[in-house]
Amino acid sequence: MIRKLYLIYGLGVLGFLGYAQYAGWSLSQVSQMKVVPKSIRDNPGSYRSVYGYYHHYTGGK
């Protein structure tokens, strides 16, 4: 019984692995925006990243 359950679980894991690889899933933190004005190419400064103005930690070495 446990073996059967494990087999079903394992096949689920393989399905997840196959789909995650094929669909190109990633754990990186990326924000998606649907429409960005094309003027960004001519005026890159007009766009502000949601990750901009980074506060670097300086407490360590």
- Give the interface size with other proteins as a residue count (CB under 8 A): 45
Contacts 24+ apart (CB under 8 A), 46-49: none
How far apart are alpha carbons 16 and 8 in whole angstroms?
Answer: 12
Binding mask 1-40 for other proteins (x = CB under 8 A): -xx--xx-xxx-xx-xxx-xxxxxxxxxxxxxxxxxxx-x
Answer yes or no whether residue 59 interacts with other proteins by CB under 8 A. no
* 2 burial level (CB within 10 Å; 0-12, 13-18, 19+): exposed
Residues that bind other proteins (CB under 8 A): 2-3, 6-7, 9-11, 13-14, 16-18, 20-38, 40-41, 44-45, 47, 49-54, 56, 60-61
